[in-house]
Amino acid sequence: MRNNFKFRISNFGFAACAVFLLLAAVQLRSEVVYPQRSEGHVHDFAGILAETDNKTMGEMLKSFQDAAGVDMEVVTVKNVEDYGGQAADIDSFTEGLSKAWSADSQAGKGILMIVSTGDRRIKVITSGAFGPEYDDILLGIVNGKVIPFFKQADYSRGIYEGVREIIKQLSQKKTFLELYGGYAAGAAAVLILLCVIILSRRTGQAKAPVGDADSRQKKPVKEKQDAVVEKFGGGASGGW
Over residues 94-103, the pLDDT tens digits come to: 988 988 887 5
For 163-178, give the secondary structure using H, E and C. HHHHHHHHHCCCCHHH
Strands 109-116, 70-77: pairing is parallel
Q: Could you tell me the pLDDT band of residue 224, with boundaries at 50, 70 and 90?
A: very low
Q: Could you tell me the pLDDT band of residue 69, with boundaries at 50, 70 and 90?
A: very high
The pLDDT of 173-177, averaged and rounded, is 46
> What are the residues whose beta carbons fall under 8 Å from the beta carbon of 120, sequence distance 6 or more?
150, 239, 240
Torsion of CA 189, 193, 195, 197, to 10 degrees: -170
pLDDT of 5 > 60? The answer is no
Grouping H, G, I as helix, E, B as strand and the rest as coil, residue 93 is helix
The pLDDT of 151-177, averaged and rounded, is 86
- Quote the CA–CA distance of 13 and 101 in Å, as a whole number: 43
Over residues 21-42, the pLDDT tens digits come to: 444 444 444 578 899 888 999 9
pLDDT of 231 > 90? The answer is no
pLDDT of 196 > 90? The answer is no
> What are the residues whose beta carbons fall under 8 Å from the beta carbon of 206, sequence distance 6 or more?
none
Q: Could you tell me the pLDDT band of residue 185, with boundaries at 50, 70 and 90?
A: low
Q: Could you tell me the pLDDT band of residue 179, with boundaries at 50, 70 and 90?
A: very low
Dihedral sign for Cα atoms in the order 208, 212, 213, 219: negative
Dihedral sign for Cα atoms in the order 36, 236, 92, 159: negative
The pLDDT of 117-133, averaged and rounded, is 90
Over residues 132-159, the pLDDT tens digits come to: 889 999 999 999 999 999 999 999 999 9
Q: Which domains does the chain have, with CATH numbers?
A: 42-174+234-239 (3.10.310.50)
Helices (H), 101-221: 133-141, 147-150, 155-171, 176-207
